[in-house]
Structure 1
Amino acid sequence: MRAFVAIVPPEPAHADLDAFVAPRRALDSPWRWTPAHLWHVTLAFMAEVPESGIDEMVEEVAVVADSCDPIPLRLKGAGMFPHAGDARVMWTDVRPTDPRGLGDLERLALRTRSACSRIGVPTAGGDYRPHLTLARSRRAVDATSWLDAMEAYSGPAWLAQEVTVFVSRANRSGRPHYEAEARLPLGRR
């Protein structure tokens, strides 16, 4: 099964971003907008985790979370993958509210990935780029004007106090969906 570990912004940050995005969602565009209740900042993604390995993975991630302090963050600005002239993904940036925040977030992501790899659960992805995905396009688009509009966003500061382990399970219709397996507080050490 698929799994990922993420930070979920608190409700005030969600509500603020949702209010900013709402009028843009209403426009005719090539974007398929991510529903607000699914917004998260991925720390590690695992494409294949055996059901029997979920508990051990949660335990390892809990050890990492225990050893990391809460991180002051904010959602601000925007970006496109791979770039604005040929975009398929629109995202908002995750930025620290103090100078140490980004390094702490990157360390948390790298330590989470290492912990999963140590127990035989490899993680996907290259360099860590903290972001929250807002929308995707089935085809590459020139999103320069979208980037200009989205870069104006600056959300409220918030404190990341926990990480959440999500796993993919089938819903009633048999379709896979992610559900929270565990919420693990930061900095309990």
Structure 2
Amino acid sequence: MRVFAAVVPPEQAHADLESFVEVRREVDSDLRWTPSHLWHVTLAFMADVAEHEVDEVVTAVASAAATRPPVPLRLSGAGVFPHVGQARVLWMDVRSDSAEGLADLGSLALGVRRACGRIGASPAGGDYRPHLTLARSRRPFEATSWLRVMDAYAGPSWTADEVTVFVSHRGTGKGRPHYEPVAACPLGATVSRG
């Protein structure tokens, strides 16, 4: 099964971004907007975890989270993957009001990935780029105008104080996946199972 560890924006940040994005969803485009209840900032993604190994993943994530401080964050600005001329993913940037904030988030992601890797959960690799996925497109598109619009967003500051472990269940047909939270792992504390 697919398992991931993520930071979930709190209600205030979530509601603020939702009000900004809501009217933009109505624009006629090929974008498939991510429903707001699925919004998160992924730290580690494991594509193939056996059901009996989920508890081990939770323990690994909890151990990594317990050694890291809460992280001051905000959603502000936008970007695309892979690049503006051939975009397939439109995302909201994750920033911090503190100089150490993004470094702490990167350290948290690295710690979670390493902890999961040590138990054989094999997190996806590559450079870590914190982001919140807003929309995807089946076909590449030129994203300059979308970036101009979305880059104007600057959300409220908030403090990430836990990492949530999710199991991702595939949607049926063209349906969206369903993310089931299985544990909340406090930063600098102990685990609380969902």
Identify whether the pair has TM-score above 0.5, normalized to the shorter chain. yes
Give the corresponding residue for 2:22: 22
Give the corresponding residue for 1:76: 76
1:147 counterpart letter in structure 2: L
CA distance in structure 1 between the partners assigned to 2:74 and 2:169 by the alignment: 30
CA distance in structure 1 between the partners assigned to 2:179 and 2:156 by the alignment: 27
Q: TM-score, normalised by structure 1?
A: 0.95
Q: TM-score, normalised by structure 2?
A: 0.93
CA distance in structure 1 between the partners assigned to 2:25 and 2:103 by the alignment: 32
CA distance in structure 2 between the partners assigned to 1:172 and 1:131 by the alignment: 26
CA distance in structure 2 between the partners assigned to 1:149 and 1:186 by the alignment: 34
Give the corresponding residue for 2:139: 139
2:112 counterpart letter in structure 1: T
Give the corresponding residue for 2:59: 59
CA distance in structure 1 between the partners assigned to 2:50 and 2:102 by the alignment: 32
Shift of 1:125: 3.1
2:188 counterpart letter in structure 1: G
Summarize deviations over 1:99-119 as a string: whole Å, max 9, x none: 000100000000100000000
Shift of 1:147: 0.5
Alignment of 1:82-161 (within 5 A): 82-161=82-161
Give the corresponding residue for 1:182: 183
Summarize deviations over 1:117-164 as a string: whole Å, max 9, x none: 000110113100000000000000001101011110000000001000
Give the corresponding residue for 2:48: 48
CA distance in structure 2 between the partners assigned to 1:88 and 1:125 by the alignment: 19
Give the corresponding residue for 1:12: 12
Give the corresponding residue for 1:163: 163
CA distance in structure 2 between the partners assigned to 1:71 and 1:119 by the alignment: 25
Tell me the C-alpha RMSD between the 2 structures: 1.6
Unpaired segments ≥5 residues, structure 2: none
Secondary structure (helix, strand or coil) at the match of 2:91 reads strand
Equivalent pairs counted in the alignment come to: 188
Shift of 1:177: 2.4
CA distance in structure 1 between the partners assigned to 2:95 and 2:113 by the alignment: 20
CA distance 1:77–1:172, change in 2 (3 Å): closer
Structure 1 residue runs of 4 or more that deviate by more than 3 Å after TM superposition: 169-173
Shift of 1:87: 0.5
CA distance in structure 2 between the partners assigned to 1:99 and 1:171 by the alignment: 39
Summarize deviations over 1:35-76 as a string: whole Å, max 9, x none: 001000000000000111111110111111111110000000
